[in-house]
Structure 1
Amino acid sequence: MRIVLQPAARSDKDVNQHYLDTIASPVTFANHSDLLAPDVREHLEQLFPEGTARMWGVVPGKKNVNVSKVQKMSAGDFALFSGDKKIYFAGTIALLWRDEKLAERLWGRNHNDQTWEYMYALSGTQGLDITVEEIRQLLSWKPNRNIQGIYILDHSDSETLQAYLSLEPSTADTSSAPAPDPQAEAAAAVGFDGELERTALRAYRGEQAALKRHLLPGHTGQCALCGRVLPAALLVAAHIKKRAVCTDEEKRDFANIAMLACSLGCDSLYERGYVTVIAGGVLQVSPLAHAVAALQEHVEQLAGRAVPWWTEDREPHFRWHRSHTFKAGTPV
């Protein structure tokens, strides 16, 4: 899966209206049954049993410049919406199809008499707050490069950005995707001759051990998120801000950069962005956690809990987690 960068500046009045009409307010399939092709509606209803989905579209562009780009997009790719020097919204492309009449009904036509007929529905949507400058630095772009026109990142950059933002795949119609080649995968595994243990990894493990000793001097400790007192073996030193983007100074700030999180679920929930800590020290649960019954049941006991580990000194790191990792609701 790759990442599609979708320009959509909400400072533009028309773009903002489109966003409010079909992203902030999901499209109800039954309202457009007269236009939706039967096979498209069938796929949509299978992917979205509730009968609604957030939708977006792409115009063909001058001399059909966007058509070849759209043809490279696949269900399962991530779409990141950008505008006003920020990445502010993301989701998994669940389904792609072409429908000029439906696009015209939803969004009208632009000044070139084109409509956004290359349509896609999004699942697993979330809000983000990432500056384009961060993307430039992360992907080693030129200082003046901006996101202009729909653009599909290559696999390497997509993987880098996916890891940086902790993006989780969601529901998608991948029935037409080529099946993996078991022989090729096996050959890649057998043929790997890279270094399995590296000095950097050993140094990292040493750092983690020292960090945990600082946070947990005894045989038991308290999880910063759920508050349970547990044996040391069930607690990890979890970085509040993703370690990979911490400065050396931040990594060495043992008192503020990390917290104890239990391996019974809190560490993974925080790392994957299903929970976060807001300013003032209250635990907040992602709306996406409610989409899975078992996950919702698990996080209900955490929502609204006071987190004593929060302090003003640690707030910048928690703020980074909220804007980069937490699976926030769709911005309205």
Structure 2
Amino acid sequence: MKIDGVGQSEAEIPGADEVQWLLQPRGTARLGGPKHFRHSVREGIRLSDPKYVEALGGHADALSEIFPDGVARFWGAITPKKANSEKGVALRDSRVGDEVLFYGEKKFIARATILAKFRNPALAEKIWGTTDDGAIWEHMIALGDVVEFEADAMPLLAAIDGPDDKLWGLKLVSARERARLLDKVAPPSPTPGTASVPAPRKSESASPATLERQALLHAFSTLRTHTRPGGPSLHKPLTLLWSIARIEAGEDRLASWDVFEREVGGLLAEFGGSDSQVTPHYPFTRLRSRIWEVEGVLDSVEDPSPTVLRESGAKAGFVVEAAQLLRKARVRAEAVKLLSRKYFEAADRPLVLERVGLGGHLSASGQTETPGRGDTTENEGAAGPVKRQRVSGMRPERDVDLVRQVKEWHEDTCQICSEPLEVLVGYYSEAAHIQGIGSPHEGPDVLGNMLCLCPNHHKQFDRLAVYIDPAWKVRRTGDDEVLFELRRHPKHHIAEKYVEYHRLLCGKDA
């Protein structure tokens, strides 16, 4: 079952000057418009909801790829009676990458980017039901992060349709017209003595150029890679992982060619494959897109040589908005999971993540299995031949009162296996953070982010061998078998958002 937008390369998605507007009426209350908007656009549809699983059918995998967090945002349209009507043309000629402007009560009320187009009557009926005459909103679009705002629709509609004062149906505005009319879709400036326009619901700007999280992840999932006998070329995915590691480490989003050539070149030599040339200058410039920029070299120069890059002092990396998104732990975790699972299936993924500097994503705590990595010095131990390491670094300071409290609530009994571990004096347990409080996860040191575990299950939970499902069952990550039900205490309120983050690390976020 085909979905437009899946498997599409970034190069095939319209650039900023090619984006069209799809003007979409929200619909009247009689047809359920406000209710449908709230349900499937503002709140979103959880793809794992049993109500929708069967209806997803052959679209399930593709939609899970488009929405890595498992929550999809959809809108639909009824098949028009005439294929060449204005609505029919809008359905046919709108594209992935175009922008939807939702209209209601003579105002534009929200905007979003089209991430995919597909037709699924069964899913549409499950989400929105049918009209009184049995029609289904079966022509579906998947939407990027939605920004809600309010702007007078009359200036744009007047410029398009003349004196008509209402948007009567679906309408497509060409890229050229959109560029000419951008200033017609903006919240009006408040005048003295009047209330200001409500701010967007999300933190993102309402500007059409704003890069959204879903668009960023979609760009990662649709890289245009060269296919080799052993699978896709790893030049671009390795470069992106390496660049994410730089963001995580607080380094400049743009890397100089000298640094890029040395470090990415080394990664390509190690993981690029025996039949792949070490050519770091290719991803340096060929990644140029909405999420990646190159300074010092004209866009018209497609494949500058290493000499040209060196002499021009070229730099490359994520654009500002992409870097800002990737500074958020949740977005970073989603991006690392998506890239490593999609492009490194045949590789040693843990080793790849360690090498690029993202080894912290292999555990919930963020600690790697290699102790002392970083600023360490080795010394011969005075009492024997075993080498010793002097380790320097920063470790998050834990609140010992919180540790004591969670252990007291559970009486040193593991919340997973319900077994207390007896020691010489009393019992022993460990307080485990669900979303690690150190880098790269940046979780908070609060009781809602903690569990009381035995050492064995603490290690398994931290190394992502087990996870907690939405029904509080503890499952084995490898095969999803239920092992235990998490023991809970009435005073210990575990925040679901931290459990969801841990599931994301385990690849069980949907």
Instruction: Tell me the TM-score normalised to structure 1 length.
Output: 0.49
Higher relative contact order (CA 8 A, sep 6+): 1
Instruction: Kindly indicate which of the two structures has a greater share of residues assigned to helix.
Output: 1
- Which structure has the bigger radius of gyration? 2
User: Normalization by structure 2: what TM-score?
Assistant: 0.33
